[in-house]
Amino acid sequence: MSRLYSLLINGIFWTFLLISCGPGSDGQIQYGEFGSEFSKEQVESLFWIHCAKCHMDNGASRSPGLLHLGSMTPRSIFASMETGKMQVQGAPLNRQEKIAIAELLTNREYTETKQVINRCDDNDIVLSQLKYFGWGGNHEGTGFVPQDIAGLNAKAVSSLELKWAFAFEGGTVTRTKPTVIDNNIFFGSQYGEVYCLDMFSGCVRWVFNADANVRGGLAVSRDIGDSFQIYFADFGGNTYALDAETGGLVWKASVKNEPGNAVTGSVIYWDSIVYVPLSSMEVVTAQQDSYECCKGSGQVVAIDALSGEEVWRHRVIGETASQRGINSAGAKRFGPSGAPVWCSPTIDKVRGLLYIGTGENNSNPPTLTSDAIQALDLQTGEVRWTFQATPKDAYIDGCSDGTGANCPDPLGPDVDFGMAPLLVTRPDGSEVLVVGQKSGVVHCLDPETGVPVWQKRIGRGGALGGIHWGMATDGKIVYAANSDWLPNGGDTIHPANPGLFALDIMSGEVLWKSTSDPKICRGKTGCYNANSAAPTMIPGVVFAGSLDGHARAYDAENGNVIWDFDTNRRFKTVNGIEGKGGSIDGPGPVIANGMVFFNSGYALFGQMPGNVLLAFALPD
């Protein structure tokens, strides 16, 4: 071990980590007081070998830096290495080593989930009417909630107040998207629990434990008897069907057929088929110089909703990866690869099509199916058309300094499609497909051919958006959240332009833009004056969360803020777990039965962590 290496580990680095990053630390902690079998020096060495490359670059990559890791919980860091995004990096470590790293980084003891303490008194439910589901919006997938489902009108929005808060033990990334059936909400969590709650009180009716975290929303059908089934997938590629009334497992099926497969988007249901999007985590694992990068591809798998059996499988890159040389560390290079399907599919019932968005290539040669929108036949998975927005975008994480052995040359901008395409009927009666891209461009496409009708740039774009998670539309105006928050992200030609935008759906003309007060984020680590989370709308009002932690409602005509709630604070919760809000990112809010549900907390890329689902309603 070199003198410099030893100094970093045992001196300046760990002094900074324990004093600055460990919440409540006085700098005097002696590792081992949590009962670990390892010495502090052993755990420091484990961190340096397995984690430091990506988390010691002062924010140059998208991985959380030391300060952000210190603000997270031991459970969230452990889960990332055990079943989440860092499971390949964590694979050489045993369970106790992962826990030890998590405790050292956070200066807190690792604990498992607390028992649910707020069970409903009356736990017998009979479900009759589906109200709301889907990642991008209602079951038509536009982000627009009609008045009869919303139960809330524009004039009353300014009177909304917090009804209750529900916290996830040890959570730091809250991307819950509730599904509403009658007066009950159903949603997944960061650690794999799937809940059914009474939406008015927040009491728990049942809990189901999946094998890994559930990052997307839950789809619904009524195909088995007369009861509702809910469908979802976990990050590990397992797809589930549950009885919605009891939480009982109907079937479970794995759709994973490549090591890097993961599910980050929501499944979608139509006509007895569940469609599951598959992304690829090689964008992360290829940071290891010894990794043979890269072989995987994004996919969509169609599953029979009654049996869980596979019906068809579409691989975005049809060509099997082959060896393309050897990298500087001596590992074999492979390609083509990548084009993950990060987002949820969109159903076109009339044309019999399934629309998907794809991501970046992870190695060369580039393909014509990356950073693209594809239309697939619902019954067979056959490709009807492909529209590629950005060619030759090969990218993996951790390449900002150009030293990684697997970094593509040239390195692409990572401007994939991260949202579910919106199928919309315009005022003139024509149908279009509208989708935002992380490049900062909104595309309006002909759903028959994929040919652009119009395209409009509203931001600089970059690895974390541009338009990242979704948009909403009432058929006349498209509302897009543009983030542009990553300090060193995006191109060098267009300026950063974060905010919420309204675009005319006929022409793409920007009608208005709304931004939050930059003073809100002064002195707050991980706070950014930018809109990244998907918006949701009711007639006359657009609801959208911000990376500054505020949940807001905007006048749909002019962008004026008519309601604002700061979620970046602590909450007393209905389930007795300590709750705190943070940045709002990921899915849009859910609106049904006169209530509005916002997530708060998103530390995945260094934003402000939090662990709450917040329920708003009008005063009693």
* Residues with Cβ within 8 Å of residue 559, at least 6 apart in sequence: 500, 502, 512, 513, 514
* Residues with Cβ within 8 Å of residue 1, at least 6 apart in sequence: none
Structure letter (DSSP) for residue 18: I
Write down the pLDDT at residue 4.
Answer: 33
Residue 385 pLDDT greater than 90, yes or no: yes
Write down the pLDDT at residue 567.
Answer: 98
Cis before 294? omega within 30: yes
Residue 212 pLDDT greater than 80, yes or no: yes
Bridge pairing between strands 130-132 and 383-388: unpaired
pLDDT digits (tens, 9 = 90+) for 307-330: 999 999 999 999 999 999 999 999
Domain boundaries defined on the chain: 3-106, 150-173+420-620
Q: Which residues pair with 551 in a beta bridge?
A: 545, 565
Residue 532 pLDDT greater than 80, yes or no: yes
Residue 20 pLDDT greater than 50, yes or no: no
Query: Helix or strand or coil: residue 453?
Result: strand
What's the whole-number mean pLDDT along residues 42-66?
Answer: 63
Q: How far apart are the first and last CA of the chain?
A: 66
Which residue do the tokens 């652009």 mark? Answer: 452
The answer for 459, left when phi > 0, alpha when psi is -120 to 50, beta otherwise, is: beta
Cis before 466? omega within 30: yes
What is this structure's pTM? Answer: 0.86
Asked if 344 and 277 touch (Cβ cutoff 8 Å), the reply is: yes
Q: pLDDT band at residue 486, thresholds of 50, 70 and 90?
A: confident
Nearest 5 degrees, angle CA 386-CA 389-CA 392?
A: 100
Q: pLDDT band at residue 65, thresholds of 50, 70 and 90?
A: low
Task: Tell me which amino acid residue 167 is.
Answer: A
Q: pLDDT band at residue 256, thresholds of 50, 70 and 90?
A: very high
Q: How far apart are CA 565 and CA 554, in angstroms?
A: 12
In CATH, which of 2.40.128.630, 2.40.30.10, 2.40.50.840, 2.60.40.10 is domain 150-173+420-620?
2.40.128.630
Asked if 212 and 192 touch (Cβ cutoff 8 Å), the reply is: yes
Q: How far is CA 531 from CA 37, 497, 587, in A?
A: 44, 10, 12
Q: pLDDT band at residue 224, thresholds of 50, 70 and 90?
A: confident
Question: Which long-range contacts (C-beta less than 8 Å, at least 24 apart) are formed by 563-569?
Answer: 563/157, 563/158, 563/160, 565/160, 565/162, 565/598, 565/614, 565/616, 567/598, 567/600, 567/610, 567/612, 567/614, 568/524, 568/527, 568/600, 568/608, 568/610
Q: How far apart are CA 220 and CA 244, in angstroms?
A: 9
pLDDT digits (tens, 9 = 90+) for 563-575: 999 999 999 999 9
Question: Which residue, among 443, 445, 247, has the nearest Cα to 348 in the 3D structure?
Answer: 445
Q: Which residue has the higher pLDDT, 53 or 236?
A: 236
Write down the pLDDT at residue 3.
Answer: 33
- The mean predicted confidence, pLDDT, of the chain is 87
Which residue do the tokens 């569940």 mark? Answer: 274
Residue 412 pLDDT greater than 80, yes or no: yes
Which residue do the tokens 């002909």 mark? Answer: 446
* Residues with Cβ within 8 Å of residue 121, at least 6 apart in sequence: 203
| 375-402: b (≥16 Cβ within 10 Å) or e | bbebeebeebbbbbbbebbbbbbbbbee
| 106-116: b (≥16 Cβ within 10 Å) or e | bbbebeebeeb
Strand arrangement of the beta sheet that strand 229-233 belongs to: 219-221, 229-233, 238-243, 249-254
* Residues with Cβ within 8 Å of residue 12, at least 6 apart in sequence: none
